[in-house]
């Protein structure tokens, strides 16, 4: 499958899942690369991410199962994975950075945007960056994606909020230095 058809397949899966979750009153926000895309960033070909409260995760899987998605419950304990009939993958994230208590705040900050002819909540760029920065570990340091997001969406970043959410991370501190030196940060 080429990049365009992969992206289109993911958009269709996103739209179908978002509509089913919305119609069943499950509060979710588009997260990750598709949230950045919805806010003017580059397209992504990996997967679709939704963030939702832990108490809604099983009901979300049930609702999506009713429209043909199959589910996996990986051992990580912070997400479920669902796949449509075309194997487009959606991550249902209920404990980002192993902190389910922050989901409510993230959902409250999310804004309704239209993407692919459906209106849904979309995570802020600041929250997407925070979750990405907080996943960095000693053997998993890659600033390429966060710098790409900062370049594409810099005017949408709440730098004070981002610094506050990531203040304990030495990798985030290094990101801020890079972002400032590159003229991306306020």
Token pair for 63:
């609702």
Reported as a single tens digit per residue, the pLDDT across 167-181 is: 999 999 999 999 999
**What strands lie across the sheet with 89-93, from one edge to the other?**
70-72, 79-83, 89-93, 48-52, 28-31, 118-122, 111-115
Whether 119 and 184 map to the same domain: the answer is no
| Stated pTM of the model | 0.94
* Number of domains comprising the chain: 2
Could you report the per-residue pLDDT of 141-162, keeping only the tens digit for each?
A: 999 999 999 999 999 999 999 9
Is the domain of 97 the same as that of 9? Answer: yes
Domain limits for position 17: 1-123
Q: Is the pLDDT of residue 87 over 90?
A: yes
The reply to whether 48 and 102 lie within a common domain is yes
Picking from 75, 101, 123, the residue at the C-terminal end of a domain is 123
Same domain (yes/no): 132, 119? no
- Taking 80 as the threshold, does the pLDDT of residue 111 lie above it? yes
The domain boundary, picked from 95, 123, 151, lies at 123
8 and 75 share one domain: yes
């Amino acid at each position: 499958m080429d990049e365009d058809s992969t992206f289109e397949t993911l958009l269709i899966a996103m739209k179908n899942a978002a509509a089913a979750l919305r119609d069943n009153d499950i509060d979710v926000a588009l997260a990750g690369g598709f949230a950045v895309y919805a806010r003017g960033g580059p397209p992504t070909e990996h997967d679709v991410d939704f963030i939702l409260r832990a108490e809604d995760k099983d009901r979300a899987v049930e609702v999506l199962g009713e429209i043909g998605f199959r589910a996996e419950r990986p051992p990580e304990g912070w997400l479920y994975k669902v796949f449509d009939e075309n194997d487009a993958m959606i991550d249902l994230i209920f404990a980002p950075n192993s902190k389910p208590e922050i989901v409510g705040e993230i959902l409250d900050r999310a804004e309704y945007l239209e993407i692919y002819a459906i209106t849904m909540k979309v995570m802020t760029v600041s929250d997407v960056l925070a979750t990405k920065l907080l996943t960095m570990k000693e053997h998993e340091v890659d600033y390429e994606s966060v710098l790409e997001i900062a370049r594409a969406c810099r005017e949408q970043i709440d730098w004070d909020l981002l610094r506050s959410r990531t203040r304990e991370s030495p990798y985030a501190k290094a990101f801020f230095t890079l972002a400032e030196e590159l003229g991306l940060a306020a």
